Amino acid sequence: MSLKSSKGSLRIRLVIFDLDGTLIDSGKDITESVNTLRKIMGQPPLTQKSVIAGIGQGVQHLLSKTVPPKILRTHPGAAEDFRRIYLDRSTRFTRLFPGGRRMLTALHRRGIRLAVASNKPSVLSGKILRNLGIRRLFSSVICGDRVRHPKPHPESINKLMKRYRVSPRETLLVGDSKFDMEAGQRAGTLLAATTFGFGTRKELARYKPDYWIRNLSKLIKLV
């Protein structure tokens, strides 16, 4: 499909989505998992806002932002403990953001390639996508444990473009964080930033996204 931007009239053949804060609202499940781990460590619970601020660069980064360094040093298995806790409860409250299912179904029916590039572990991403009934709509799902360099490095984005033989000008990256925007920018793709995700508009505006998405259904007409 054709799409107008500052880069001219383009035919988008591949749309790459981040997961947390972009396609899925996973904040409550992640927060409860972090607080379960903190309770085991003898720490008081954090607010969801505090936990969300650490989302975006994988488990180790999340724990570095939500557990005091001194406590982490005394719990060398903290990352594995968190993955186990979160895997057990990762689909309790997690839902697609409004317009998500309709948009994904519509783009898939039109023959546009859909993919996920997330720093979330593969086992967690797969479980959530299957539980939501949308895994079949994606041609590929590349997670942080399947690349040498997770986002904001563009490795996962470049892999997907190479796999489907599309150029950066034929690719749209949809994300909610500075890590998504930087990865897409470095790969040279078009950028669509969500306004309802975990990142702040001020943070995202630094990357001058081509599009701002207030509801995922907007992508049906945009692409």
pLDDT in tens, 10-47: 689 999 999 999 999 999 999 999 999 999 999 999 99
Which of 56, 73, 89 represents a domain boundary (last residue)? 89
Same domain, yes or no: 109 and 217? yes
Mean pLDDT for the stretch of residues 129-145: 97
Given the residues 18, 20, 25, 180, select the one marked as catalytic.
18
When pLDDT is cut at 50, 70 and 90, the band that residue 1 belongs to is: very low
CB 159 within 8 A of CB 144: no
In this structure, the answer to whether residues 176 and 85 fall within a common structural domain is: no
Would residue 18 show up in a list of annotated catalytic residues for this protein? yes
Where residue 89 falls among pLDDT bands split at 50, 70, 90?
very high
Indicate if 107 and 124 belong to the same structural domain: yes
Average pLDDT over every residue of 55-79:
94
* DSSP string across 46-108: --HHHHHTTTTS-HHHHHHHHS-HHHHHT-TTHHHHHHHHHHHHTTSS-EEPTTHHHHHHHHH
Same domain? 211 vs 177: yes
Q: How confident is the model at residue 75 (pLDDT cuts 50, 70, 90)?
A: very high
Q: Is residue 65 domain-shared with residue 159, that is, in the same domain?
A: no
Q: What is the pLDDT of residue 118?
A: 97
Tell whether 102 and 126 lie within a shared domain. yes
As a whole number, mean pLDDT of residues 100-111 equals: 98
Domain that includes residue 57, residue range: 27-89
Residue 63 has pLDDT above 70, yes or no: yes
CATH number, residue 146: 3.40.50.1000
Residues 9, 40 within the same domain? no
Shared-domain flag, residues 120 and 201? yes
Residues 151 and 179 in one domain: yes
Angle between helices 27-40 and 59-66 (to 10 degrees): 60
pLDDT at 10: 63
d(CA 221, CA 145) in angstroms, rounded, equals: 33
Q: Are residues 16 and 76 in the same domain?
A: no
Q: What is the mean pLDDT of the chain?
A: 94
Assess whether 56 and 72 both reside in one domain.
yes
pLDDT at res. 9: 47
User: What pLDDT is recorded for position 106?
Assistant: 98
Total domains in the fold of the chain: 2
Give the per-residue pLDDT at 36. Answer: 98
Return the bridge partners of 16, or none. 115, 173
